[in-house]
């Protein structure tokens, strides 16, 4: 596998994969104003909120690249899991209609699948996810037993991506492995 140094990820990829932080009331998906996750790719995610967006209470996950804010994700949580209502980047707000389900309802376990479809500017985007298994993961932030979640993103125009997320309940995403084999590891968290 390739190892990410300071190689920047695009905001589009971040919008779908860096949702490390929203939670159900029991803390399965960690959330709270001021929580942060820093990765060896030069990205830091900061959770803030709650805030009202289009009449809905959301938590805001802001993505920083080398200290510069590049995008925000607007996240909701409920009994069906974690969803994103939209994203903002380069001064432009994009709302998903309907919201896109990122994580299924807790607790996640191997074999669980979920899928969600939304529309953006006339294009359908489908995010399909599966919990592949439980894996031991060693990162600069520590050693974790993480749920490996494989996410496939398909668009109605034929675009396709594959991403493996390593989620630790109560901690968030500790590792991303992109389609080209790039590994992005958690180096620090603050909560």
CATH of the domain at 135: 2.40.360
Read off the pTM.
0.85
Write down the pLDDT at residue 32.
87
| 15 vs 114: CA distance, rounded Å | 18
pLDDT tens-digit series, residues 70-122: 999 999 988 889 999 999 999 999 999 999 999 999 999 999 999 999 998 88
Structural domains of the chain, count: 1
Q: Report the chain's mean pLDDT, rounded to a whole number.
A: 87
CA-to-CA separations, 132 to 79, 108, 166, 178, 181, in angstroms, rounded: 22, 10, 10, 15, 17
Q: How many CB atoms lie within 10 A of CB 27?
A: 13
Domain span holding position 165: 2-190
Residues 100/121/68/43 CA torsion (nearest 10 deg): 40
Chain centroid to CA 17: how far? 4
| Cα Rg, the chain, nearest whole Å | 15
């Amino acid at each position: 596998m390739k190892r990410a140094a300071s190689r920047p990820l695009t905001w589009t990829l971040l919008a779908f994969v860096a949702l490390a932080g929203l939670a159900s009331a029991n803390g399965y998906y960690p959330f709270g104003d001021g929580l942060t996750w820093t990765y060896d790719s030069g990205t830091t995610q900061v959770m803030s909120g709650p805030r009202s967006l289009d009449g809905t209470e959301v938590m805001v996950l802001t993505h920083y690249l080398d200290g510069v804010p590049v995008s925000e994700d607007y996240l909701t949580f409920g009994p069906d899991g974690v969803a994103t209502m939209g994203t903002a980047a380069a001064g432009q707000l994009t709302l998903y209609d309907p919201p896109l389900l990122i994580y299924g309802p807790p607790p996640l376990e191997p074999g669980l699948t979920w899928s969600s479809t939304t529309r953006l500017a006339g294009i359908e985007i489908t995010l399909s996810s599966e919990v592949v298994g439980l894996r031991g993961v060693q990162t600069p932030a520590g050693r974790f037993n993480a749920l490996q979640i494989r996410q496939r993103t398909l668009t109605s125009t034929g675009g396709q991506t594959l991403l493996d997320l390593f989620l630790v309940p109560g901690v968030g995403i500790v590792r991303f492995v992109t389609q080209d084999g790039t590994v992005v590891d958690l180096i620090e968290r603050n909560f």
